[in-house]
A and B are shown apart, each in its own frame.
Chain A
């Protein structure tokens, strides 16, 4: 159906859509170029690293791509890599879910009590502003140096980000939408489920999205401060033995995890963003 609609049968304000016939190359050309350039940048960086390591910079300081690769292979073979990665992922996931759920619930609750929100606002902002690393020693006293302390540290950051964004999302709902629903005869429950929840979803999703990397940061910082397992521990331990290849190997695994998390979040937010708030109402 590529025929252009007859102008007499469409209204002036109808949206006329005509399929665009483009070849695969025309559609994806710029994407392919960008990906290729990225591969080139990566290759150049690795080669430069390999060549400079030794002749230019002390190898014990910067290691080299081949050494790092050997380290990864060794750790992978003896299970060190998987065990510690799994621990870190578990901390991140638990901390994220814990912080996100409590943050979203608290965000909805506080906005339904306007006075309470005003009273608590400076306290919440005060707690939010504390660098979460500074809480690590306290959490060690409370929860020990095991998994729990990392989960709590990750959750503490995620909580505030989700909480603040959720509360913001609820406050940003156009009161005219609530009025419109009231005139349809909506009761409090209808208002909550048909206007407030869906209307604040973009805020909640923003909170969920921006807090993902912070869950990882929280968990790794917890591991760096005090632990005997996890990728943060691996970094600390390798560094204390002047094993820079080990440090880089662990860092690479961390950045792969971070990249996967970010990619997942991007995919999710694309799927949920078909609607957006209406363009500026007069």
Chain B
């Protein structure tokens, strides 16, 4: 790249980037420090630096894990189970659909591949609230309210379109000749899919799983409307703190941080795959 395009110097560039970095990091910083503050320190006006403005304490963390562990346990497990299983299914169904759409010519009445693809992807356009109430009614009559299964089903339906979109990106870049070579080499179609295609799209699968997991892990509306005490997820637990006990920022911060950590770990370890998958297909 040629230097000196729009701005006069590298210093200005760094300056602006650091400014935004600060804007990004400060709320996180606040969250972290708040989880270590005494009640008094929180209510006596904003305190910025540990050991300078206030004395940090680990008691809230201790309490959350050890004392109130039971409160934490169920939502954590629920979130893990729901997010992981729904994402696995979403990625599987999505990859299969994307593969079929790339390798076979469908025709259902006037609908051809492109139309089917657009229909699937356009499900994301619909605001969830539109079907949330109807789902409430449906699950009520099915006796599935407040179960992990309900959310798993809903998330699969909500996130499979994302998976189809992303995997389509990946699969369309695979030269079909490699699969043909596998056929000529003696593989059946199934063998070709599992031994040749799948390894090639593995990065795409990782990225897609990550995205679906994040969406499911952080989701609030459906969880709020379709569950009660049994299938409570982490976001609900966080929200519940507020409404049940008043703004206990220290506890809430601890919970929020506990909720963030799995996601951050996943992202940092898989981040190179993440970027590749988001290149949009031209419409």
Q: Specify whether A and B are partners.
A: no
Residues of A within 8 A of B (CB): none
